[in-house]
A and B are shown apart, each in its own frame.
Chain A
Amino acid sequence: MSTTLRRIPFKAMGSHCEIQFMGMSRIEGRKKLHPLLNEVQRLERKYSRYDPDSYLSEINLMAGNRLGIKIDAETRLLLAHARSCFEQSDGLFDITSGLLRKAWDFTSGRVPDAQEIEQLLPHIGFDKLEITRSRLIMPTGMEIDFGGIVKEYAADSLARMARNLGIESGLVNLGGDFAVIGQMPGGHPWPVGIVHPDKKENLMARLTLNQGGLASSGDYERFFLHEGKRYSHLLNPKTGWPSDGLRAVSVAAELCTLAGTTATIAMLKPEAEGIAWLQELGLDHVYMTADGTIDGQGMTLVKVTSESQLEPQSSTSVNNHVIN
């Protein structure tokens, strides 16, 4: 098989994305990319929080309707996974917590009054949803958002699709969430680097992916400082305030969806609990604490020195590797 690396970048889900593959011509690769792009766009359109015509918007409009809305299999299964996330995180990972952005405006850096948050809390809580085999019934004033799941799910979906399309060796990268399509020729794993949250030109850690995926969660993109205190965009759905946990987590698992879920749950827990949880799970991971300490398991941690400086990247993770 040809060992020339092809990289096809594209934009989706609000991030810079890329499919890397080996073993076919660029033209062949572009052709295969079409259905993959369609799938990402389909998921984006279906579950977009910003598009009033999206399926998700339609669902949220039916909040308060006694009979709810009939949901399709994909939404039902995403809700089942969201419930898993809710249960395994003791209620911290909650897809109904998006409502809190009405109180928190991260662009202006405004800290809301306690009262604004109090008003929203009764309308938050995954266990207030009624999900049956074919319907979702939401109380008035509630809304759901699959933002914390869809991107990683899309990465896994694209990887599987790419395999079905005959791509044997490749890697999907959706804005820093990776899913392996197949190993590099010769059975070599894909080298992946995780960008340092503060020093974007440096790596925080390196690892190799044989299969499965890698996902990262971090507050480095969306946070603000107010009176010296750092407010993360990851909000605790029980209190309505930003969670006071780790600053960044990346996890590698057999599915990007699983990696993303565990990384996000680790971020929502208080720091010490988050670290313990990651260690208990046993998956390869790396994290950065509030005071900047970097540690992990199964990944090569990178010391920030002048030798490891790279060109600036816009995504949170980057590949660099040597081609043989």
Chain B
Amino acid sequence: MKKHQPRHHSLIALSTTALALPGIACADSPPLQSTLSYKFSNYQEDDLPRREAPFGERQRYDIDIHQLRLVTPSGSNTSLQIDASHESMSGASPWFTTADSNGEPQVNLSGASGLGISDIRNELAFSGSYYFNSGTLGASIGRSEEDDYRSSYAGFSAQRNFNREMTTVAVSFSYAEDDIFPSDAELFNRVLDEQKTVRSIALSVSQIINQVTTFQTAITTTDQSGFLSDPYKLRDIRPDEKNQLAWSNSLRRYFIGADAALQLNYRTYHDDFGISSHTLDAAWHQNLGNTFQVIPHFRYYTQSAADFYTSIDDFSLPTSNSQSSDYRLSSYGAISGGINFVADFGDWALSFNSERYIANHKYSAYDVSQPGAGLVQFFRYSLGVDFTF
């Protein structure tokens, strides 16, 4: 019926907008406009309680993060995304743990001898998506650099709609190669240059339940191999292989009368360091008229201890044994919550996010045979702005 001839530019313009109309468009179509988002965040870890750090420094990390993201359609079936971030951190982190006079663990921060850590991290990533009739394909590539760490990574994803677009199945996988070259390595007898490889696959199924409810279940399996220990700790020896599995379930439900949406996520995790964890987070997005949104949110996290976790460094153990007193491998729970605000003015929007996080071994749902020292507490706030053009 139609001749094969190059499409007239007017036809292209008119059909692009016609195809985007909701009654006509497929579930997946590229965005019609570009969006530029910027967010500045700062979080400060609370000073260690005196009991945990009787000598010297108690001040921990103070971190500033800048994030920039650009998403733009390119052509009628594709879109591009550029992500950039700049993070600067200063402060101190646990160097080693010893026992105090009561045999309780106490932390010695790296900043104790005026050797605070000051680090800058820059990251840049590019990703593209291709939209076709019943799904989307995506590819991404990125790199991050710090004074003592470098990571290069690439990923691929695909998703497809089924069941009259009620169901979406997505698969993604990523591969990263990291390089660790600690500062002052020779001075402190640290490793000089080590590598780590991370491979990960995720599979998810999303389902529309009814007009106001959606549900998603996802499983991610990750394999890390190489140098997995923390080079900045005096005694930290971990296996050179780690397999982890995470399963998360999410619910989104909109309440018409309240003009608000509930977001619930629950994740369960296990790895072969012996750590299991549960994470539950909830957020209530309350619309206030057409412009404002207030979002209180809450999170509960709990993990068990790694098999080789020891709350007090034992330098007499042979180095062939895995061991670490890193609080992040101990059994503890963390409660966090806060309120976010969003103001949407059409082509641009502002956001303010806040969160208070408190980790404590008393909050753990697992057995705590060795309560750790150095559990972190912090307050974070973020300011964000979005432009659509």
Direct A–B contact in complex, judged by CB atoms less than 8 Å apart: yes
Which residues of A come within 8 Å of B, CB atoms?
39, 68, 70, 73-74, 77-78, 80-81, 83-85, 87-88, 132-135, 153-154, 156-158, 160-161, 164, 207-208, 210, 252-255, 257-258, 261-262, 280-284, 298
**With A153-B23, A252-B1 in contact, is A87–B13 under 8 Å at CB?**
yes
Complex CA gap A261/B13 in Å reads 12
**Could you say which residues of chain A place their CB within 8 Å of the CB of B22?**
73-74, 77, 157
Which of A85, A133, A156, A284 makes the CB contact (< 8 A) with B14?
Answer: A85
A12 smallest CB distance to B (angstroms): 15
| Alpha-carbon distance A142/B245, docked complex (angstroms) | 59
Q: Which of A68, A134, A156 contacts B344 (CB 8 A)?
A: A134
Query: Given A135-B346, A161-B23: A255 and B2 within 8 A (CB)?
Result: no
- Which 4 pairs, one residue from A and one from B, show the smallest C-beta to C-beta distance? A157-B23, A132-B346, A81-B17, A70-B290
Knowing A133-B346, A284-B1, the reply to whether A84 touches B164 (Cβ < 8 A) is no
Q: Cβ of B1 and Cβ of A84 under 8 Å apart?
A: no
The listed residue (B11, B19, B24, B347) touching A133 by CB distance below 8 A is B347
Given contacts A70-B290, A134-B344, contact A81 B2 (CB under 8 A): no
Residues in chain B within 8 A of chain A (CB atoms): 1-3, 5, 8, 10-11, 13-24, 32-33, 164, 290-291, 344-347, 388
Cβ–Cβ < 8 Å partners of B18 in chain A: 81, 84, 153, 156, 255, 257-258, 261
Decide if B24 touches A157 in the complex (CB within 8 Å): yes
Minimum C-beta distance from A182 to chain B (A): 15
A3 to chain B, nearest CB (A): 23
Residues of B within 8 A of A80 (CB): 17, 20, 32
Contacts of A83 in B (CB 8 A): 17
Report 23 cross-chain contacts, Cβ distance below 8 Å, ordered by A residue. A68-B346, A70-B290, A70-B291, A77-B20, A80-B17, A80-B32, A83-B17, A88-B13, A132-B346, A132-B347, A157-B22, A157-B24, A210-B1, A253-B15, A255-B19, A261-B18, A262-B11, A262-B14, A281-B10, A282-B5, A282-B11, A283-B11, A284-B2
B280 to chain A, nearest CB (A): 32
Q: Are A283 and B2 closer than 8 Å at their CB atoms? A: yes
Q: Are A134 and B346 in contact (CB under 8 A)?
A: yes
- Contacting pair B11 A84 (CB below 8 A): no
B211 to chain A minimum Cβ distance, whole angstroms, is 13
Chain A residues in 8 Å Cβ range of B16: 84
> A134-B346, A135-B346, A164-B164 are known contacts. Are A84 and B23 too (CB-CB below 8 A)?
no
* Residue in B closest to A165 when the chains form the complex, CB atoms: B164
Chain A residues with Cβ below 8 Å from B11 are 258, 262, 281-283
Could you list 6 further interchain pairs (A-B, Cβ under 8 angstroms) beyond the known A134-B344, A255-B24, A298-B2?
A: A80-B17, A84-B18, A133-B388, A134-B290, A135-B346, A281-B10
Residues of B within 8 A of A87 (CB): 13
Q: Which residue from A68, A164, A257 sits with its C-beta under 8 Å from B21?
A: A257
Interchain pairs with CB closer than 8 A, number: 101
CA A158 to CA B24, docked complex, whole Å: 9
Residues of B within 8 A of A156 (CB): 18, 21, 23-24
User: B386 — nearest CB in chain A belongs to which residue?
Assistant: A133
User: Is B8 a contact partner of A74 (Cβ separation < 8 A)?
Assistant: no
- The distance in angstroms between the C-alpha atoms of A261 and B290, with both chains bound, is 32
Question: Does B14 lie within 8 Å of A88, measured CB to CB?
Answer: yes
CA A262 to CA B3, docked complex, whole Å: 17
Q: How far is the CA of A127 from the CA of B172 in the complex (A)?
A: 43
Residues of B within 8 A of A154 (CB): 23
Known contacts A73-B22, A133-B33, A133-B388; A84/B13 CB under 8 A: yes
Residues of A within 8 A of B14 (CB): 81, 84-85, 88, 258, 261-262
Measured between beta carbons, the chain A residues less than 8 angstroms from B13 are 84, 87-88
Please measure, in the bound complex, the distance between the C-alpha atom of A254 and the C-alpha atom of B10, giving whole angstroms: 14
Question: Complex: how many Å from CA A39 to CA B21?
Answer: 14
Asked whether, in the complex, the Cβ of B24 is within 8 Å of the Cβ of A160, the reply is: yes
With the chains together, A184 CA to B1 CA distance in Å?
A: 16
Q: From residue A294, how far is it (CB to closest CB) to chain B in Å?
A: 19
Complex interface: chain B residues within 8 A of A255 (CB): 15, 18-19, 24
- Roughly how many angstroms separate A104 CA and B23 CA in the complex, as a whole number? 33
Separation of A133 and B15 alpha carbons in the complex (Å): 20
A289 to B290, CA, bound (A): 49
Chain A residue nearest to B347 (CB atoms) is: A132
Please give the distance in Å from B103's CB to the nearest CB on chain A. Answer: 61
Q: Are A153 and B21 in contact (CB under 8 A)?
A: yes
- From A68, A84, A210, residue with most partner B Cβ within 10 Å: A84
Chain B contacts of A157 at CB under 8 A?
21-24
List residues of chain A with CB within 8 A of the CB of B347.
132-133
Please name all residues of chain A whose beta carbon is closer than 8 Å to the beta carbon of B24 when the two chains form the complex.
153, 156-157, 160, 255, 257
How far does the alpha carbon of A250 sit from the alpha carbon of B347 in the complex, in Å?
38
Chain A, residue nearest B6 (CB)? A282
Which residues of A have CB within 8 Å of B290?
Answer: 70, 134-135
**Please, which residues of chain A bring their CB within 8 A of the CB of B164?**
164
Cα–Cα distance between A68 and B14 once the two chains are bound (Å): 26
Contacts of B346 in A (CB 8 A): 68, 132-135
CB <8 Å contact, A160 and B15: no
Closest CB of chain B to A44's CB: distance in Å? 13
Q: Which residue of A lies closest to B35 (CB)?
A: A133
Hey, which chain A residues are within 8 Å of B19, CB to CB? 255
Which A residues touch B291, using CB under 8 A?
70
A296 and B214 alpha carbons, distance in the complex (Å)? 50
CB closest residue in chain B, given A254: B15
